[in-house]
Amino acid sequence: MPAVAAPPPADRTATQAMVAQISLDGPIGPAAAEYFDDASQRALADGAVAIVLRLDTPGGLADSMRQIITGMLGCKLPVLVYVAPGGARAASAGTYILYAGQIAAMAPATHLGAATPIQLGGATPMPAAASSVLKDKSAEGDDAESRKVLNDSIAYIRSLAQLRGRNAQWAEQAVRGAATLTASEAAQHHVIDFVAADVADLLARADGRQVQVGDRSVTLQLKGASVRNYAPGARTRFLAVITNPTIAYLLLLAGMFGLVMEAMHPGAMLPGIVGGICLLVGLYALQLLPVNYAGLALMALGVGLLVAEAVNPTIGALGAGGVVSFVIGSVMLMKADVPGYGVNLGVIGGLAFGAATLLGLIVWLVLRSRRAHQFNDVAMTAESGVLLEPVSAGGEAWVMLHGERWRVHCDSALPAGARVRVVRRQGLLLWVVPA
């Protein structure tokens, strides 16, 4: 089979050529990386002559970004990276992807840059006393680690710039100083090849340009080519849903509470089955995301304390600790500095409010039960109630006593509605006399 990126045979017209369009919208994550790999392979199999990678992203995960770039560099088709539509951006990880394309273009009113790497671990704050003792060593260690990450990112984007013959100096500024450019400024600084109004304009401007695809030099013949959109497959869409930090967070909680309910009500089956599935899917999603495991442990502790409060009420001591632990763990769970990878604070706030309300309800019920009248043999001899039905001498009937129905024995015949007084109790049967 001839290389599909080669110029078309003489008997084919430019209008017969097909260009595949892949759209990356939103944060760059595992789902985006898998989508690009799958769509690029399908485009190659379908006979596409090039790929238009339409980009609009705030950034994302470094591993997923590198997976996409590796796929672009190994692809047998030329990849035209196009930041569009108007108002879109190629920030952070998007800047690296833009540099990796054989053709880099932007729509008017778009921008790129701010590619400074973010450490997922972060520095751990220290108490003042410890900080003063270990200041030099910790500062030196943190600086060394930061320099390693920064220098690795600079080298990576410079290598991409040199490979594609673009402005390596500005690429370093984008990483080192979070520099940004508009579309027209990017074209002036030779960061991109040109500004294109739409995909048709992109193909027309790229037509006739010579690019390097692997070890081959290819002349693009794209003017008038048809464009076919490649949507994500079912697996990729599912992965995109579960790797949304808020969805993964809710799956994790559903799994925890499902298993707790099954443990409290053995044999219910449904909570355990649903909880187990949700927990496993949530844990799978979390291992693909930048997770803080201290936050995960605090969440589990919070759920445990809330369950302990429900099972063995302590007038709010365990529950209050559980709510605080749960909220702190939820906020810490995801590294919010990574663009697009923070749990929605509104969801956390809503769940925290619900947990606090439930805690308040439990405490109120406990306090009310402690104030409730205690029924014992001595106390009940002074109680009186109303017969709900007639009773014959020496017979039994029902009586309403403090809002409860009791079975009573009476030696006297009485009509319904007569008031009676309790004289003694035997099990659940009360002996009464006329009041």
Sheet holding 50-56, edge to edge: 194-195, 103-106, 79-83, 50-56, 18-25, 226-229
| 251-271 mean pLDDT | 85
Q: φ, ψ for residue 86 (rounded to 5)? A: -55, 135
Task: Give the pLDDT of residue 132.
Answer: 37
| 390-400 mean pLDDT | 91
Q: What is the DSSP letter of 14?
A: G
Task: Give the pLDDT of residue 388.
Answer: 92
20 closest CA partner among 75, 73, 58: 75
Three-state secondary structure call for residue 323: helix
Q: Determine what percent of the chain is predicted with pLDDT higher than 90.
A: 43
| 45-55 mean pLDDT | 95
- H or E segment at 219? strand 216-219
End-to-end CA distance of the chain: 105
Q: What is the spatial distance between Cα 304 and Cα 102, in angstroms, rounded to a whole number?
A: 54
317: CB partners within 8 A, 6+ apart = 309
Residue type, 74: G
335 CA to centre of own chain:
11
- How many other C-beta atoms lie within 10 A of the C-beta of residue 239? 22
Task: Give the pLDDT of residue 14.
Answer: 42
Of 13-17, 91-95, 164-168, minimum mean pLDDT range: 13-17
Cβ-contact 311, 264 below 8 angstroms: yes
- Summary mean pLDDT of the chain: 83
pLDDT confidence tier of residue 162, bands split at 50, 70 and 90 = very high
pLDDT confidence tier of residue 62, bands split at 50, 70 and 90 = confident
Q: What is the DSSP letter of 388?
A: S
Cβ-contact 105, 205 below 8 angstroms: yes
| 181-207 mean pLDDT | 94
Residues 334-369, buried b or exposed e (16+ Cβ, 10 A)? Answer: bbeebbbbbbeeebbeebbeebbeebeebbeeeeee
Task: Give the pLDDT of residue 34.
Answer: 92
Q: φ, ψ for residue 182 (rounded to 5)? A: -80, 175
Determine the angle formed by the axes of helices 62-74 and 93-100, rounding to 10 degrees.
Answer: 10
Q: Look at 313 and 266; give whichever has higher pLDDT.
A: 266
> Can you give the C-alpha Rg of the chain in angstroms?
35
Task: Give the pLDDT of residue 338.
Answer: 65
54 closest CA partner among 35, 28, 81, 88: 81
Determine the angle formed by the axes of helices 245-264 and 293-311, rounding to 10 degrees.
Answer: 30
Q: What is the spatial distance between Cα 313 and Cα 262, in angstroms, rounded to a whole number?
A: 20
Q: Look at 187 and 401; give whichever has higher pLDDT.
A: 187
Helices (H) and strands (E) in the chain, counts: 14, 16
Cβ-contact 96, 375 below 8 angstroms: no
pLDDT confidence tier of residue 139, bands split at 50, 70 and 90 = very low
